[in-house]
């Protein structure tokens, strides 16, 4: 009856272990659970788990010896100091001398009653371990771990089975061997499933970086943006998780939710792959395939030559008419005109670079320059600047026309369409929402959907803040100067007051000094100025 009770208990334990193995998501804890469960099922004193590596070795993953208090590998933080066991010798022959390698190479369980009396195996490493610790390794049970495809992915080795009643070292029974073989099979499948899941995650991560790399290839500026936004998003999310007071004190993102946000941050601008290069990287107002300011420079040079020709004709006429004083006056007027043209050219060069705000006076000066007249080869007068050139040169802010800006802004629509077309597992289904919300505003005047604050999740609102902060502080944009910390926080503070960004998240961003944490990693030293948080608009400590 006692044997029957023990059998029932062990079968129940094996069943419970199988369920636990399937439910465990942490790789290291899964490996530990395999060893600890096998030790408990067989009442073994020690256990080791090896993983088969691509270079045909057995890598030590977990080591446990209860009587010596040894716990290495896994979540312990204690590295295992032993070198991997080779499956093949230097001359290419199978390594049949080491019992763990033998079990893999021959796909069989090895049950040894006493290691010191066993023949055919090299236990020199075991002997050295015993000599240095005073341990006595006796019985060994070595079981290969085979997954559902028949591949051996690891080895489970148990040492020194103990009699449950006396505590004496004994051999591993056939029944214990069958239990461990069953456990090893379940463990191998659970481990393979975990590896497959991790492999798919790795593939997805690689695909994400591939998209970011494609954007980077189109634009090194946007590529850096794609890499930095995830870092800043994680900093802000961690800061919110640390918050113990205020409106966000009860909000918390677990590891899976943080991973979802991080992935969304990586691909929040993936729609920019559909934006023409000439727009995405438009460094100046006149840029298309090249910067057309060179055409204007040529026109100025031609205009000066034509003015010089007119001067020479007028001077020749003055000489013929005996008006030498007119000749000198004409030369002075010409010199003044050339100087004015040089000033106008320098002005257009500066205007062409774009700015945060172009004044009405500057726009009128561009229109005045457009009134200059050139002569074509037939002697007909032509416009100095085309209407399209004037339209571009008088762009009030930045380098994009309203039509071009609308095309660039369309990238968020493309992003949402691309991301919503993917079949996500449950833990990643909010990626399109997070990635697609970084241009929305709290007052509903954002784009593309015009969502209000209450319609946006907190992670989506995070994306808005980190996207703006990174863009303002970026030092590698060709069309603007990077802002300092104090300038950036002034702008963000006003955005909070104007209901552009989330007020509670902005307060956490300041209070937890997320801006400073990011600055020390990514900003230039001259950008990191002193910030008086009490003077940041709208900030509530």
85-127 pLDDT, tens per residue?
999 999 999 999 999 999 999 999 999 999 998 888 988 888 8
pLDDT at 214 over 80: no
Q: How many residues does the chain have?
A: 541
Percent residues over pLDDT 70 in the chain: 93
pLDDT computed for residue 1 by the predictor: 38
Instruction: Name the token pair of 214.
Output: 């494609």
Q: What is the pTM of this model?
A: 0.72
- Categorize the per-residue pLDDT at 227 as very low, low, confident or very high, splitting at 50, 70 and 90: confident
pLDDT computed for residue 479 by the predictor: 59
Contact 177, 72 (CB under 8 A): no
pLDDT computed for residue 189 by the predictor: 83
Average pLDDT rounded to a whole number, residues 187-200? 84
Specify the higher pLDDT residue, 96 or 331: 96
pLDDT at 259 over 50: yes
Spatial separation of the C-alpha atoms in residues 269 and 267, rounded to whole Å: 5
Spatial separation of the C-alpha atoms in residues 387 and 106, rounded to whole Å: 82
pLDDT computed for residue 354 by the predictor: 84
User: What are the Cα distances from residue 292, in Å, to 120, 282, 322?
Assistant: 82, 12, 45
Spacing of C-alpha 326 from chain mean position? 72
Average pLDDT rounded to a whole number, residues 417-434? 91
Instruction: Name the token pair of 229.
Output: 């936004």
Spatial separation of the C-alpha atoms in residues 372 and 403, rounded to whole Å: 27
pLDDT computed for residue 277 by the predictor: 76
pLDDT at 8 over 70: no
Average pLDDT rounded to a whole number, residues 138-157? 92
Q: Provide the total of helices (H) and of strands (E) in the chain, helices listed first.
A: 19, 10
Average pLDDT rounded to a whole number, residues 48-63? 94
453-472 burial, b if ≥16 CB within 10 A, otherwise e?
A: beebebbbbbbbbbbbbbbb
pLDDT computed for residue 41 by the predictor: 86
Average pLDDT rounded to a whole number, residues 242-261? 94
- Rg of the chain's alpha carbons, rounded to an integer? 37
Most trustworthy range by pLDDT among 127-136, 220-229, 496-505: 496-505
Spatial separation of the C-alpha atoms in residues 15 and 7, rounded to whole Å: 12
Using DSSP bridges, classify how beta strands 44-52 and 152-162 pair: parallel, antiparallel or unpaired.
antiparallel
Specify the higher pLDDT residue, 161 or 147: 161
pLDDT computed for residue 323 by the predictor: 64
pLDDT computed for residue 527 by the predictor: 95
pLDDT computed for residue 4 by the predictor: 57
Average pLDDT rounded to a whole number, residues 63-81? 93
pLDDT computed for residue 474 by the predictor: 87
Contact 409, 439 (CB under 8 A): yes
- Categorize the per-residue pLDDT at 325 as very low, low, confident or very high, splitting at 50, 70 and 90: low
- Categorize the per-residue pLDDT at 482 as very low, low, confident or very high, splitting at 50, 70 and 90: confident
Average pLDDT rounded to a whole number, residues 337-361? 90
Contact 86, 101 (CB under 8 A): yes
Three-class SS state of 50:
strand
pLDDT at 5 over 70: no
Of 209, 214, 222, 217, nearest in space to 476 by CA: 222
E strand or H helix that includes residue 250: none
- Categorize the per-residue pLDDT at 308 as very low, low, confident or very high, splitting at 50, 70 and 90: confident
């Amino acid at each position: 009856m006692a044997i029957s009770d023990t059998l029932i208990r062990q079968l129940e334990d094996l069943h419970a272990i199988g369920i636990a193995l399937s439910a465990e998501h942490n790789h290291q804890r899964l490996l530990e659970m395999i060893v600890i469960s096998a030790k408990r099922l067989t009442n073994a004193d020690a256990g080791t788990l090896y993983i088969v590596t691509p270079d045909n070795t057995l890598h030590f993953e977990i080591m446990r010896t209860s009587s010596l208090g040894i716990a290495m590998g896994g979540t312990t933080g204690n590295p295992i100091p032993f070198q991997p066991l080779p499956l093949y010798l230097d001359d290419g022959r199978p390594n049949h001398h080491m019992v763990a390698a033998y079990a893999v190479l021959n796909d069989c369980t090895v049950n040894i009653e006493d290691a010191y009396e066993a023949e055919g195996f090299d236990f020199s490493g075991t002997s050295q371990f015993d000599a240095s610790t005073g341990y006595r390794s006796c019985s060994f049970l070595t079981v290969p771990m085979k997954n559902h495809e028949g591949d051996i992915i690891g080895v489970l080795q148990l040492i020194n089975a103990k009699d449950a009643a006396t505590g004496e070292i004994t051999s591993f029974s056939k029944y214990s061997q069958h239990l461990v073989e069953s456990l090893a099979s379940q463990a191998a499948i659970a481990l393979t499933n975990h590896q497959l899941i991790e492999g798919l995650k790795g593939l997805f991560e690689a695909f994400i970086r591939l998209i970011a790399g494609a954007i980077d290839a189109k634009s090194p500026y946007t590529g850096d943006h794609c890499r930095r936004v995830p870092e800043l998003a994680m900093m802000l999310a961690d800061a919110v998780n640390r918050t113990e007071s205020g409106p966000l004190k009860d909000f918390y993102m677990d590891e899976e939710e943080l991973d979802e946000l991080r992935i969304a941050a990586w691909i929040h601008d993936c729609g920019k792959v559909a934006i023409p290069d000439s727009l995405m990287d438009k460094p100046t107002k006149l840029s298309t395939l090249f910067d057309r300011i060179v055409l204007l420079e040529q026109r100025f040079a031609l205009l000066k030559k034509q003015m010089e020709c007119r001067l020479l004709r007028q001077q020749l006429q003055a000489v013929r008419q005996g008006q030498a004083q007119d000749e000198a006056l004409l030369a002075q007027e010409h010199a003044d005109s050339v100087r004015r043209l040089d000033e106008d050219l320098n002005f257009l060069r500066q205007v062409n670079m774009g700015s945060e705000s172009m004044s009405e006076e500057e726009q009128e000066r561009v229109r005045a320059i457009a009134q200059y007249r050139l002569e074509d080869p037939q002697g007909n007068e032509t416009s100095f600047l085309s209407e399209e050139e004037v339209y571009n040169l008088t762009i009030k802010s930045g380098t994009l026309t309203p039509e071009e800006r609308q095309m660039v802004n369309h990238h968020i629509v493309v992003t949402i369409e691309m991301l919503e077309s993917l079949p996500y597992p449950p833990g990643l289904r909010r990626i399109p929402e997070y990635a697609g919300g970084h241009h929305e505003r709290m007052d509903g005047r954002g784009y593309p959907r015009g969502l209000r604050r209450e319609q946006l999740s907190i992670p989506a609102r995070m994306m808005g803040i980190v996207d703006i902060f990174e863009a303002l502080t970026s030092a590698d944009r060709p069309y603007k100067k990077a802002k300092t910390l104090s300038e950036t926080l002034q702008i963000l503070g006003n955005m909070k007051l104007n209901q552009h960004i989330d007020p509670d998240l902005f307060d956490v961003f300041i209070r937890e000094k997320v801006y400073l944490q990011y600055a020390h990693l990514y900003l230039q030293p001259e950008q990191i100025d002193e910030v008086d948080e009490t003077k940041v608009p709208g900030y509530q400590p």
